[in-house]
Amino acid sequence: MLSRIKHKTTEILNPVTDVLVRLGMKPNHLTFLGLLTGIFSAFLIAKGHAKLGALAILLSGFMDALDGALARNKGMVTEFGGFMDSVFDRYVDIAIFSSLGFYGVDWFLVILALSGALMVSYTRARAEKIIERCDVGIAERGERMLMLVIGLLTGFVWQSVLLIAVLSHITAIHRMIHTYRLTSRSERL
């Protein structure tokens, strides 16, 4: 759902990307900073610093939005950059969800949420090999991270992880159904 406002975010971040270009920053630099910030957020959460971890997740998410905006605004989009961004996002997801187990969330719930998050990503990547776009669903990465941040800031951590687990798997199934509908329609023609 948040991916649908990507073009607006790119526009809003244009002044920031102008400054970054003058400083010699490239999208891959921001992608790497997002990875480091995401791993640092996981460290903070694992150590029991939920609110600081939540703020670090927001900073990591900002870097993730900024790298794409910089690439699009300044004509720096590369296939490898998109690939690296996706891979680093998965590493951050794994680190953050794993840290929740050390924080005290039941490991089974952590595994359900993490597997759902990974399946949302995988179903999109695999579907887009056979259909043009597959960004349907209610629990893309941005939404999942916002749910987690809210849980960490309010103290409703296990509840937010449960919500992420349920909505992530619903989103993955939604993407499977969406892809089936589009491919079966074209196969009938």
**Coil, strand, or helix at residue 24?**
coil
The residue with tokens 């920031």 is 16
The Cα-based distances of 142 to 2, 9, 118 in angstroms read: 6, 13, 13
Query: For residue 2, which amino acid is it?
Result: L
Cα maximum dimension of the chain: 57
- Mark whether 93 is an active-site residue: no
How many CB atoms sit inside 10 A of residue 93's CB?
21
Residue 96: how many CA atoms within 13 Å on its side-chain side?
38
Annotated catalytic residue: which of 64, 67, 85, 89?
Answer: 89
Active-site residue list: 89
